[in-house]
Amino acid sequence: MTLASVGPSYHNEVPLTVEGPNDGQFRWMIVVDEDRTDINLRSDLDAALESLDGGATQLWIKSIDASADAVALAAGFKHYRDLWQLRCPLPTAPSHLHTRGFTPDDLDDYIAVNNRAFSWHPEQGGLTRESVEATMAEPWFDADGFRLYYEDNKMVGFCWTKIHRDQDPVLGEIYVIAIDTSHHGLGLGKPMSLAGLDWLAAKGLTTGMLYVESDNQPANSTYASIGFTRHHTDRAYQLAPR
């Protein structure tokens, strides 16, 4: 089984934002927030596109609905990816894995395991020390909530958690989780997930959360067995260069 989940990499604090120009597959990224009550999505999306230089554009619409989907398609975007947000009540069943918190000495091991597990992933693959250290410098980072599992002094898996204290209810997220490719098929995905959820529940949280690709069937089966259900879908679209 391949268990590899990671939170989204988009960021916005207003209903519609434009990021770029960027290197890589998409020159521009447009992000539409889940709260769209104060915008006219069609006119605001058209205005955003008019301001760009016609490069390849990615559109993320959080908490997609039929109306927003119709607007995106009418603007010429093609849907290509769904990211599910799942939630579950805490506490869950306990994990049998003995895990520990992250230390700076674990950084190289983490990057190696991560990059093998996420070689296919458009955002999480190819991490560098600099990118990881930048994330760890953010205010929410808690090294003890970054749970690691080792066998014979070799990192086998990790479950990096993140607490969203600005949400109601407060959410305990499985931010990034993976099992090393050398240990796929050994049934470690579920107990690794539970180890992170154990830590979040011990902090007093009552709701767990994670993001997962809609077509990652092995991971979704594991999460369903834990008690996760879909809360909403964030949808990605692409627009070819004009």
- pTM, whole model, 2 decimals? 0.89
Residues 132 and 53 in one domain: no
Question: Domain check: are 93 and 211 in the same one?
Answer: yes
Does residue 58 sit in the same domain as residue 44?
A: yes
The number of folded domains in the chain is 2
DSSP state of 94: P
* 7, part of any domain: no
> Do both 173 and 74 map to the same domain?
no
45 part of a folded domain? yes
- Helix (H/G/I), strand (E/B), else coil: 19: strand
Claim to verify: residue 129 and residue 204 sit in the same structural domain:
yes
Cβ density class 92-114: b for 16+ within 10 Å, e for less: beebebebeebeeebeebbbebb
The enclosing domain of 157 has a CATH number of 3.40.630.30
Position 242 scores a pLDDT of 82
Encode pLDDT of 99-157 as tens digits.
999 999 999 999 999 999 988 766 676 789 999 999 999 999 999 999 999 999 999 99
Give the pLDDT of residue 1: 42
Please check whether residues 49 and 91 belong to one and the same domain: no
Q: Could you tell me the sign of the dihedral formed by the alpha carbons of 80, 132, 2, 142, in that order?
A: negative
Same domain, residue pair 47 and 140:
no
Query: How many whole angstroms separate alpha carbon 158 and alpha carbon 101?
Result: 10
Give residue 135's pLDDT: 94
Domain encompassing residue 94? 86-233
Residues in the chain, pLDDT under 70: 1-13, 121-123, 125
